[in-house]
Amino acid sequence: MPPKIDPEVGCEIPEPGNWPVDPQEDVDIAEDRLWIDGCFDFFHHGHAGVMLQSRRLGTSLVVGLHSDEAILANKGPTVMSLTERVLAVEACRFSSKCVPHAPYVTSLPWISHYGCKYVTHGDDITSDASGEDCYRFVKKAGRMKIVPRTPGISTTDLVGRMLLCTKEHFIRSLVDTLRGREGAGGEGEKVERGQRMAVRNSVSKYAWVVILMLLQDRISEYAAAPDGVDSGIQVYSLNGDSSFMPMVHGLGPKPDQRIVYVDGGFDLFSSGHIAFLKLVTTIEEQHGHERGWYSAEATKQRTRDHGEDFPPAFVIAGIHSDEVINHHKGLNYPIMNIFERGLCVVQCRYVHQVVFGAPYAPTKAYLQSLPAVIDSAPAGSQHQRLPDAVYHGPTSYMSDPMEEDPYAEVKGCGIFVETPEHEFQDVNAAQIVQRILDRRGEYEERQRKKGVKGVGEGALRRREMEEELETERQKREGKNGA
């Protein structure tokens, strides 16, 4: 029997049992169940923002993902594979279900099968290979809702940074940038940029994640919180020169949750980062099973006492500054600045608190002063608490073999845990940049269509700089090993 075909879009309509993910049978269409689809290539907070705006229109959001082949035919090559993009969408706290292999031109039978009444999309136009609106049939049926697009970030812009090796996106002081004191352009442009960032940051409030800034100098200047940062909250002191300033309210740790800490650059927030955070969550769930967290009695007790259940671990993610990452990685790393990287981590369902500007070496004093650690200490305790675990993957974290181990104090406290390898172990910002350089011609054409100029020479220069950096690294390792 020939496959069923959508007569408008021309795509195949799977038979029961052949849909990409369950349900296999059609479900009733619900007004509060929405569909959004796209490429969602190396997932960033702009993607999360449009998902959040969509999710607020209902109670459930189904995310359709186009295949690598469909994207290549209509738009150009993807940077991340379909498997990696599925991992990212499933990790977004605003998505309810991910449906891979969704048609590039949105098909009414597909969205109806999954019970979605409406399709959402940002307020920009998406066209197929023939130049026609990908949502023309949905709009004709009156089943389209437009949501605001997150300004200031796009996949095209990020690829441009990689190919042109620019540093204009770096942020030295996040507080000064939010206040309109730092950045390129005149005073008016700086203020406007800070205001736009405050708007982008405001969506984080709907994630219920506590966002903190570690202030390491000029603390007296930060007595009043900048625009876009919550005020009237306790500023936790680390020592005479450092303090934590809350940027966004959120939900703190619950009773008996283990407190765990992870840190890193999280540049381009790739499948490597997401798989690591998911693995930390899995390990903590195993600990939970061992201590009876998931027993019927314990679950019932938590629900009765708190009105809801919650996971066995509270995960804090420390995000290193642009300056720290550039010192260790060189070139124009990080590709995303600290604000962009932090918002990527905030939208991840495996994280509950984020610290902007976290130190490269998490010392005992720093870990003891984390607000979540202080807040979760037993009442009347005379001893300063530490996190229950500090996780890091088996990847290298020292760019110079002669550097001191940044986790030396953590290991001395007996709370360092190295996670096992996972499927996306080697995926990081440098590897993603290399993917683009290896297919430079295709990405140059993609950028040309988007109006990004000068990518050819910039990409060649980047490759030369990458090679020079690797040669210098090998020389250092050779000397240290002699």
Architecture of domain 4-150: 3-Layer(aba) Sandwich (3.40)
Domain ranges of the chain: 4-150, 174-418, 429-481
The token duo for 185 is 């352009």
Read off the DSSP letter of residue 227. Answer: T
Which string of DSSP letters, residue by residue, matches 82-114? HHHHHHHHHHBTT-SEEEET--SS--HHHHHHT
Q: Could you give phi then psi for residue 467, rounded to 5 degrees?
A: -65, -40
Tell me: the pLDDT tens digits for 193-250?
A: 777 777 666 666 666 888 898 986 543 444 444 444 443 334 444 444 458 888 887 8
Tell me, yes or no, if the two domains 4-150 and 174-418 fold the same way: yes
Q: What is the pLDDT along the chain (482 residues), one digit of tens a residue?
A: 678 999 999 999 999 999 999 999 999 999 999 999 999 988 888 888 899 999 999 999 999 999 999 999 998 888 899 999 999 999 999 999 999 999 999 999 999 999 999 999 987 778 888 888 899 999 999 999 998 876 667 777 888 888 888 888 999 888 888 888 888 788 888 887 777 777 666 666 666 888 898 986 543 444 444 444 443 334 444 444 458 888 887 889 999 999 999 999 999 999 999 999 999 999 999 999 999 999 999 999 999 999 999 999 999 999 999 999 999 898 899 999 999 999 999 999 999 999 999 999 999 999 999 999 988 877 666 568 899 999 999 876 555 556 789 999 999 999 999 999 999 999 999 999 998 888 877 766 665 665 544 445 455 556 656 666 666 666 666 655 54
For residues 14 and 472, give the distance between their C-alpha atoms in angstroms, rounded to a whole number.
54
Helices 271-290 and 82-91: crossing angle in degrees, nearest 10, is 50
The token duo for 462 is 């980047």
Tell me: the pLDDT tens digits for 283-327?
A: 999 999 999 999 999 999 999 999 999 999 999 999 999 999 999
Q: Could you give phi then psi for residue 248, rounded to 5 degrees?
A: -145, 135
Q: What is the CATH number of domain 174-418?
A: 3.40.50.620
